A and B are shown apart, each in its own frame.
Chain A
Amino acid sequence: MMDRLSAHYWLNEKTYAAASSDAVIARRREALERFEAMGFPTKRDEEWKYTSIKGLLKPAYKLVSPFASEYSDEQVEFKDIKQYMVNDIDCYKVVFINGCYSSWLSETTHQGFDVCTVGSAWKKYPEIVDAHFAKLSSQGGALSQLNTALAWDGLYVRVPKGVIVDKPIQVLYFTTGSQPTFISTRSLIILESGAHAEVIERHQSITKEGIWVNAVDEVFMDDNSSLHWVKLQHDRDSASLTQHSIIEQGRDSRATFHTISTDGKLIRNNLDFRLTGTGAEANMYGLTLANGKQLIDHHTRVDHLAAHCLSRENYKGIYDGKSHGVFNGKIMVHQDAQKTQAFQNNDSLLLSDKARIDTKPQLEIFADDVACSHGCTVGQLDEEALFYMRSRGIEEETARAMLMVGFASDAIEGIQHPSLRAKLSRLIGLKLGLNMEFSV
């Protein structure tokens, strides 16, 4: 597959070159070389010790040509995708189908700030995109490098100084087709000082064919900016996602990410924060509900590079069937990052003998005046609590589901929009077998 991907790049290099500067092409070539040198990750790679992508490499994927939409709007009908959208919150919408922008389904803006696509930003603001493209991802692993070589489109947001984006930005990456397809998506978010934005992101396959989306997000947050990002990972069990999101944060900025992973075949999230300005704050919350043969892998990393920064991390997971979870949370407190506060927690429930979680908190501290903690628990449902609930007349199955929803609830508490939170708690309840309205 590696050879095919490389050939695909060279075949399309002219198209890439037509859209951007020579500097970007040079970065793409470098990234491709790095990818070729690294090769696809294997379990021998420390970062991929528990997650094998062997299965992902098998299908003869169709590769999509850059900047060429193969899906006209008529082929994907609104009624087929409406259910995957958050409809009850007024949002900007940026919709892609197999990696290509669908203007018909989208609602973008350039009034006061830009909510559009990387592809169109390359035409409108080439200097800005060129200046940022691959700046953060250049240190990434093989899959990030592959994305840098091949990706050409995804969400683009740029918010000028002091501007607050008035409503959430919903970005939807739909995938479809009659054969297995490999897609690269890439977003670029630039928040200038004091800017604020909210993003709701979803990758959704609408075909039964095997889909592999390999995504990269680069987020630049200037001083005092703030960002809320909700990742909804409820894809089909034939669809896989590997994603690397890198967030660079300036002074007193605040980023909050919620990753809700309930469905999909293989999900690998790499979520990296670089706290470069003093007083920056990064919050990560995750909820994983896995069953069947799902593999859901969260790798997070926070680099505390400046003093007085705060990172909070709380990931919860419930694993049933033969599912497999991975949590690897790395906190690096660098030498200059005095007065760092870093808190990390990962709790897992295993509901079956065959389910498995590999959890590895990693804390490396090179500064001497810091407050850091990490903890992880792995357990089963509390039998005492079950008896307590049943003794009040609650059926065993409902009691189990309530306990699980209760366990999961703090992972979504911080989601700002009540209707999105309610939608998620319904979805979580349903996934856990609780067929009732359940408020958190």
Chain B
Amino acid sequence: MLQIKNLHASIGDRDILKGINLDVKPGEVHAIMGPNGSGKSTLANVIAGREDYTITKGSIHMEGKDIMEMDPELRALQGLFLSFQYPIEIPGVTVSNFVKTALNELRKGRGESAMDASVMLKKMKASLALLEMDKGFLSRPLNEGFSGGEKKRNEIFQMAMLEPRLAILDETDSGLDIDALRIVANGVNALRGSNRSFVVITHYQRLLDHIVPDHVHVLYDGKIVKSGDKSLAMELEAKGYDWIKKAQS
């Protein structure tokens, strides 16, 4: 599904990613953990195609296709989805209008016709129900005045609507109380399947109690320094990141 080889990326003259290797197979959930400033969000943004970063070395393939030269919208068309750590507020564009436009742009890109309005509405209702969201959400301006929890639920709502093949969840648990965390995790779990993969980026282990990963990687100073199964997450929770830092220095 996703293959990253020896990925180096920098912003300005600062190197942030220093040789990342990652192989995500269909249906797998990979968790990427690490202390602040280790490059987690950079990795998410580089995969999604943010232009602020320069890729100096390495490759990113999705289902065998090199996506590094692709615009963000083309990557989305390949089936990529990034749930933002800080979803952007867009005044004057309602949630329903935004999702409708995105979904139909993706359909257009795949050579399909626009989705029938009644089918769209049904799908929206089902996705709202999944995230325990109220119908009133649809007519609110995108993320404007949303609480932290509402913003994150709205990200997963969009994911449910757009049905990506590969979803990257960037700190989706940050700013969530325990109830919101459960709702978001339930939403993600409902979307798990043999043909959909997840990369879950998180600082803390608590999200991984709800979204149980197949693999856990520790990112430190731009490199994956340790990989393991879900027990690694628990070890990190118990011991913190210091022992990783010490082992590296």
Contact = CB atoms under 8 A, between A and B. Distances in A.
A396 interface: yes
B88 A382 contact: yes
B27 interface: no
B88 A390 contact: no
Interface string A382-396: 101101111111111
B90 A389 contact: yes
A387 B91 contact: no
Contact of A391 (B48, B92, B93): B48
Given A384-B88, A440-B92, A395 B97 contact: no
Interface size class of A (residues with CB under 8 A): 20 to 34
Contacts of B48: 387, 391
A393 B77 contact: yes
Contacts of A391: 48-49, 72-73, 75-76, 80-82, 84
B76 A438 contact: no
B105 interface: yes
A375 interface: no
A440 B71 CA distance: 29
Contacts of B92: 405-410, 440
Contacts of B77: 393
B88 A385 contact: yes
Contacts of A382: 88
Contact of B101 (A385, A388, A398, A409): A398
Interface string B79-114: 011101001111111100110011101100100000
B141 interface: yes
Contacts of A395: 73, 105
B102 A393 contact: yes
A402 B93 contact: yes
B158 A392 contact: yes
Nearest to B159: A392
Contact of B76 (A384, A390, A406, A408): A390
Residue in B73, B84, B109, B158 whose Cβ sees the most chain A Cβ within 10 Å: B73
B91 A394 contact: no
A393 B105 contact: yes
A163 interface: no
A413 to B, nearest CB: 9
A60 to B, nearest CB: 45
Contacts of B51: 387
A352 interface: no
B183 to A, nearest CB: 21
A175 B102 CA distance: 43
Nearest to A399: B73
A387 B75 CA distance: 12
Contacts of B87: 388
A428 B106 CA distance: 24
B50 interface: yes
Contact of B73 (A394, A403, A407, A439): A394
Q: Which of B98, B101, B106 has the most CB of A within 10 A?
A: B101
Which of A390, A393, A408, A410 is most buried by chain B, counting CB atoms within 10 A of its CB? A393
A395 B77 CA distance: 10
B185 interface: no
Contacts of A384: 88
Nearest to A408: B92
Interface of B: 48-51, 71-73, 75-77, 80-82, 84, 87-94, 97-98, 101-103, 105-106, 109, 141, 158, 162
Interface of A: 382, 384-385, 387-396, 398, 402-403, 405-410, 436, 438-440
Given A393-B162, A402-B90, 15 more contacts: A384-B88, A387-B51, A388-B90, A389-B90, A391-B49, A392-B158, A393-B109, A394-B101, A395-B105, A402-B97, A405-B93, A406-B91, A410-B91, A410-B92, A436-B101
